[in-house]
Amino acid sequence: MDKKRKQNIVPYTDDNEKKAPRWFKPEHNWSHQQARTNFARAKDCDRHFWDSYDEFTTVLVTRTSDESTASLLEQTQSLTPRAYYQCRYRLLKRLADEYAAVEVRAPKYPTHPEKTVRTHIHTGIWLPGHHSADDFDLLKRKHMDTVEGATDCHISVQHHSTDTYPPVENGMDESRGATTALPYELAGENQPLMNVATDASDLYDTRALEWCATLSGGTDTTHATPGMSYWVELGSFGEFAETVAESREDCDDLITQPDNTVGTKTSTSLDEPKPTPQPSATTRTNAALEQAVSALAQLE
């Protein structure tokens, strides 16, 4: 992450010697920019279901393994056994011809301070039609049977129809369309990077910083491998989100009006609420946090 920051700075040159170096927001998987993009995609996927079906179901599956005594990296990996994934895939294909889902890994802080940060997983699922909570009991059993140290698998099911369309709020939703609460739960509440200015180096909670550094460090903790993604799109999620975004862009091209600057157009920001960054840190604190990223990534 520190490397990404250095790649996004404009240094002093002969052409801009009177200008101070300026940071550009880094665009990588552990940046605030990517978190905003994930949020926007989740909302667009949700809009696809409102636009395409008279009735659909959203499911939120939360899985934990707080009793695992493994290291953070191993505990995170143990939450994703092949047997569970195969079971979920077969179940969703049986329930619907097409579905969308996204899996979000997030840090979890046990109530006992002597215990290290853990990982828990939220999976959001969109399915056409009406499905009952009992349809997903198999996932609970499979999680408890296949995940080491498994403690809970909580499943929440919500049904939606044209009669229950959520009220439209101000902001982007006013023109793009309201959504269910699922995108907010997945991307708004469970991405630590929504609350930073640039990337994970800005995290003030050292446990969250440790979590990001460990997952981004890869399976060998040296950053030689890509690392584990905290955001995994499943089923037709990507197709649905991109279709809605492309459709909106076509409309924006037709209605975009020039602003007061000649030759430019008004731009639209990503579809998500404004972040709530922590208070500014001192230079010493920033330096310590940047060093912590490199150090924590070396944890075994």
Q: What is the pLDDT of residues 4-19, one digit of tens each?
A: 455 555 454 555 555 5
pLDDT value, residue 217: 79
Q: What is the mean pLDDT of residues 197-221?
A: 82
- Domain segments of the chain as ranges: 25-163+177-250+267-296
pLDDT of residue 282 exceeding 70: no
Model confidence, pTM: 0.76
**CA separation for the pair 151, 147 (Å, rounded):** 9
**CA separation for the pair 278, 268 (Å, rounded):** 25
Q: What is the mean pLDDT of residues 236-260?
A: 71
**CA separation for the pair 223, 241 (Å, rounded):** 30
Tally Cβ neighbours within 10 Å of residue 94. 8
pLDDT value, residue 166: 80
pLDDT value, residue 238: 95
Could you give the 3-state DSSP secondary structure of residue 292?
helix
pLDDT value, residue 177: 84
Confidence of residue 293 (pLDDT cuts 50, 70, 90): very low
pLDDT of residue 159 exceeding 50: yes
pLDDT value, residue 138: 96
**Share above pLDDT 90 across residues of the chain, in percent, rounded to a whole number:** 46
